[in-house]
Structure 1
């Protein structure tokens, strides 16, 4: 397993037979004998650990601690199978160990952690460790044939680029469990699969992990694995307003798993969606099947077939599924998407005009480019907006060396090499390392993140964009169509329909990937009359002006826009048997915005 850093900094940790763990970073800070800092208070282990162990250490090991009420709930679940041998595969300071010893008479706990500091804290917090086996090692590599009656787990939260193994761990875990695991998978998914595999028949597990897997593409393998093997009994899913993990901007989920001795063809999953804070007693009642007495909780039973039929679960877990809207189509029928340009080193490649001039970078090697969401004030990005950024000294020009660099440009390349840029994650795979990704300027941008919904911007300036925005390329190359599509994407009706395809993090932070955008339902504008397209385009301009001045005006525009969206859907439904309208692009003078050109993707979605 690894933590962030360069490949050249990796150091092998010899944690025992079968470990081959690769850490990334400062070897001296990660050696096996690292001790628990002084001042640890065994009476308040998790709080004390956070106080005395620095945040960088906790981040490297993906450590986020389970609140006491959640630990009680999870332990109550596994106690139902009266386990004799309990596994904690990532014990941290030991909250599950202590809870199991308190609640389950006579149980023996095997507690594993790759972090010696956490293991020492867990040991120090116990009055007696006679019934506990502490193992310093990586659970994914430790005794793969070991079996347990139950498991309690809060696995490490590490994204795929933050850990590394000497072998293909994704293929290995996939082979053991009979699934194909994406190499973009967070490590906690691997833990869940291995926990399930190592349970004895009739065993139970309770696992708390971030909630992003319910909507992330890499979560599809886990969903299929849990449902097809009839393992998931209860899913408790916390909304963004009911944060569970301290110091992590993420929603949370608790998976209550049971490895039944016999199959159940009618396997339903009890879903508890937690809108706001609730007590542990109410949660325990929900797990027993009691109906809630609070509006803070939504409870429903969904069949495996229902869940398997939905790619992203966030919406179905928190809402009653709606029927498909007549007159609407997936955005994929009207447009293509790509992510923005990934530079690999924004501070080096994305320059202000003044900086580019001082470096003597030639104009032929500079692309006009926006890189920050705050630099785009509304839903239309104009040439005036761009020139204002240039005037203010913002980063507005992207270095793109498409021909032989001259002396000044070569000097800047050398400076980048001295800074070690060729060894960075993205740049190491490019030839030459400073080669820039190629994108046509996108007519429409989609903000990657948003709290009050997602923002779609009409790129009137015709400039490029970095990964703060995704690129949307309409299949119809006409100005009114692009503006009308931007308008409907910003409408409240379409924003509401899009919720089932987004990923939601803590604090209500919503995120879309480029492929997620393609599933959004929009009115079929190919069948809209030209007059309606013009009115939609006009509403976008009105919305842009209103957003720059007052929210009150914007609300009135959005209300009218919803009416136009329904009118477009009605027109599409009425003319469904007709051919889609063909909108010929007008004559384009040399000064016309670049985005009016017919655009194509050069390759697959990122």
Structure 2
């Protein structure tokens, strides 16, 4: 019989141990292994919610396949009586954490297996309460052999083959399936990114087809749950039973599990056709994918990546000081903080009328011709080949012939900041009307009109202004639902995500472009 323990005192001891063990590893090592401990308050919030999903008299068989120092077991001991816990076990692959954790909990029923959970098999009766913050290991830290083995084992365990671009946490969820008792409850504290990216599609299939998805609670991304990991966190609640007919899932957002800021029910049939679950609970319905999208009106590309902005981008004074030929430079826009207005006007030469005018070294002349005609430029390029970290040897530059040429990114009439933070009353993404000849770097998305739209805009330049006004009128929450979010409220919008945004309302404002593209059947979709 185990002796009574003072859980609060033991939790203080565990926190001290956690800090000591974390301090014994580099941030790089912890990132590579995905070791981010769950804060005490968050662990207890999750356990309280999980206990409510069990029958009041049900004995608890607890399981945590990524237990670390035991934050969730400690939370369990804090919120239920010792007598109610029938069994408790967990896995910890890293002896740096596992050995001290076993010593810490040696006077309790917790059994910690010091082994790799992904290679283990179920033993004994299944768990009816599985709570886990699985290791947040990105796919590029897994080699091809590991991925293949994980995919095979996961498919055998849960019937779904996980996408090879998935993080380790996706495999953990599938591999845990056989460890759960029938009707058992599981909570997974994971990054919310799976809800809106392509690799999450198979994980979402598991959640909709193999178990009953009860709830997904997304924490406000500005309320970072982990001090040492820039992720937007979600808690996914499932029950190990096939989903009932007409099943609806609770989506909640912000606040706490007990008191979310927003909450609504979404039919599972709707979720099966919605690629961006991050739209819930804010969205009223699934996004409309039938009809025209922005990608059918614009080629949307990331701005150019120079290889080294400090080498290739200069202001006029720097160019003149070095005696470099202005004809080998093209105007380029500075970062968005230097663009106070959302419309960039230009002078007679096409230069942007802004305070911070910058220019990009952009020439395709061969080096021998540069040496003959522009000796100052040849001397400057020579400096890019010197030193231990020579510009010419950097990844992007060494893949180009010659190394100093730039991507083909002419000026775009509309540009968009592709990363930004959400603030009350503000927009995380800015759409900017660019009336200058300045191109832009990869902190922007560039919107180039398709040929039929460009032809119409040549005749009527107001078309681009109409498109820009439409983009700026998009509800920020609707746009955020198409992108992805990280901890601290940092949002990102990739080209393909912006391409998929519905544009039927824009077509309604531009009746003159319909005849120019009607032969492709594009506008039949727009009014379908």
Q: Please state which band the TM-score falls in when normalised by the shorter chain.
A: 0.7 to 0.9
Alpha-carbon RMSD: 4.0
Asked if 1 retains the 8 angstrom alpha-carbon contact of 2:36 and 2:226, the reply is: yes
Gaps of 5+ in 2: 1-11, 372-377, 518-528
Q: Deviations over 1:160-210 (max 9, x none)?
A: 44x132525167426732545444433333332333355454443211012
* 1:78-117 equivalences in 2 (<5 Å): 80=54, 86-100=62-76, 103=80, 105-114=85-94, 116-117=95-96
Q: Which residue of 1 aligns with 2:112?
A: 133
For the residue of structure 1 that corresponds to 2:367, the secondary structure is: coil
Q: Does the alignment pair 1:331 with 2:331? A: no
Give the Cα–Cα distance (whole angstroms) in 1 for the partners of residues 393 and 300 of structure 2: 29
Query: Offset of 1:447 from its aligned partner?
Result: 0.8
| Alpha carbons of structure 1 residues 409 and 75: separation in structure 2 relative to 1, 3 Å | same
Query: Offset of 1:472 from its aligned partner?
Result: 0.9
* 1:37-436 equivalences in 2 (<5 Å): 41-42=13-14, 44-46=16-18, 55-75=27-47, 77=50, 80=54, 86-100=62-76, 103=80, 105-114=85-94, 116-120=95-99, 122-123=101-102, 125-126=104-105, 128=107, 131-135=110-114, 137=116, 139-140=117-118, 142-143=119-120, 149=127, 151-161=130-140, 163-165=141-143, 167=145, 169=147, 172-173=150-151, 176-177=154-155, 179=160, 181-196=162-177, 198-199=179-180, 201-260=182-241, 263-266=242-245, 268-276=247-255, 278=256, 283=258, 296-321=260-285, 329-353=292-316, 366-370=329-333, 372-383=335-346, 386=352, 388=354, 396-398=359-361, 403-404=366-367, 406=371, 407-408=378-379, 411-415=382-386, 418-419=388-389, 436=406
| Alpha carbons of structure 1 residues 470 and 110: separation in structure 2 relative to 1, 3 Å | same
| Alpha carbons of structure 1 residues 432 and 468: separation in structure 2 relative to 1, 3 Å | same
Asked if 2 retains the 8 angstrom alpha-carbon contact of 1:497 and 1:521, the reply is: no
Give the Cα–Cα distance (whole angstroms) in 1 for the partners of residues 500 and 331 of structure 2: 30
Give the Cα–Cα distance (whole angstroms) in 2 for the partners of residues 63 and 422 of structure 1: 37
| Aligned pair partner of 2:464 in 482, 486, 489 | 482
Give the Cα–Cα distance (whole angstroms) in 2 for the partners of residues 182 and 357 of structure 1: 52
Give the Cα–Cα distance (whole angstroms) in 2 for the partners of residues 355 and 111 of structure 1: 59
Asked if 1 retains the 8 angstrom alpha-carbon contact of 2:485 and 2:491, the reply is: yes
Give the Cα–Cα distance (whole angstroms) in 1 for the partners of residues 324 and 175 of structure 2: 53
Give the Cα–Cα distance (whole angstroms) in 2 for the partners of residues 93 and 422 of structure 1: 47
For the residue of structure 2 that corresponds to 1:446, the secondary structure is: strand
TM-score by length of 1: 0.66
Give the Cα–Cα distance (whole angstroms) in 1 for the partners of residues 485 and 168 of structure 2: 19
Asked if 1 retains the 8 angstrom alpha-carbon contact of 2:283 and 2:478, the reply is: no
Query: Offset of 1:431 from its aligned partner?
Result: 6.2
Query: Offset of 1:515 from its aligned partner?
Result: 1.4
Q: Does the alignment pair 1:580 with 2:511? A: no
Asked if 2 retains the 8 angstrom alpha-carbon contact of 1:272 and 1:297, the reply is: no
| Aligned pair partner of 2:439 in 464, 467, 474 | 464
Asked if 2 retains the 8 angstrom alpha-carbon contact of 1:74 and 1:207, the reply is: no
Query: Offset of 1:88 from its aligned partner?
Result: 2.8
Give the Cα–Cα distance (whole angstroms) in 2 for the partners of residues 168 and 127 of structure 1: 33
Give the Cα–Cα distance (whole angstroms) in 2 for the partners of residues 47 and 129 of structure 1: 22
Q: Deviations over 1:49-106 (max 9, x none)?
A: 6677665554444333323343234445279386886543333332023334664524
Q: How many residues align?
A: 470
For the residue of structure 1 that corresponds to 2:36, the secondary structure is: coil
Give the Cα–Cα distance (whole angstroms) in 2 for the partners of residues 341 and 212 of structure 1: 26
For the residue of structure 2 that corresponds to 1:254, the secondary structure is: strand
Q: Deviations over 1:349-396 (max 9, x none)?
A: 4445555666776656544323522232221223468465556xxx64
Greater mean deviation of Cα atoms: 243-252 or 431-440: 431-440
Q: Deviations over 1:294-350 (max 9, x none)?
A: 6x4433332321111111112232342289699x95323322211222345444444
Give the Cα–Cα distance (whole angstroms) in 2 for the partners of residues 361 and 198 of structure 1: 68
Query: Offset of 1:401 from its aligned partner?
Result: 5.2
Greater mean deviation of Cα atoms: 437-446 or 377-386: 377-386
| Alpha carbons of structure 1 residues 106 and 387: separation in structure 2 relative to 1, 3 Å | same
Q: Deviations over 1:442-487 (max 9, x none)?
A: 2211111232222101122222222211111122112322222112
Asked if 1 retains the 8 angstrom alpha-carbon contact of 2:415 and 2:434, the reply is: yes
Q: Which residue of 2 aligns with 1:449?
A: 419
Q: Which residue of 1 aligns with 2:520?
A: none
Asked if 1 retains the 8 angstrom alpha-carbon contact of 2:329 and 2:360, the reply is: yes
Give the Cα–Cα distance (whole angstroms) in 2 for the partners of residues 188 and 365 of structure 1: 49
Asked if 2 retains the 8 angstrom alpha-carbon contact of 1:234 and 1:271, the reply is: yes
| Alpha carbons of structure 1 residues 372 and 158: separation in structure 2 relative to 1, 3 Å | farther
| Alpha carbons of structure 1 residues 61 and 400: separation in structure 2 relative to 1, 3 Å | farther
Gaps of 5+ in 1: 1-39, 284-293, 530-571, 573-577, 584-606
Give the Cα–Cα distance (whole angstroms) in 1 for the partners of residues 322 and 100 of structure 2: 53
Give the Cα–Cα distance (whole angstroms) in 2 for the partners of residues 233 and 242 of structure 1: 23
For the residue of structure 1 that corresponds to 2:408, the secondary structure is: coil
For the residue of structure 1 that corresponds to 2:114, the secondary structure is: strand
Give the Cα–Cα distance (whole angstroms) in 2 for the partners of residues 183 and 270 of structure 1: 27
Give the Cα–Cα distance (whole angstroms) in 1 for the partners of residues 104 and 328 of structure 2: 60
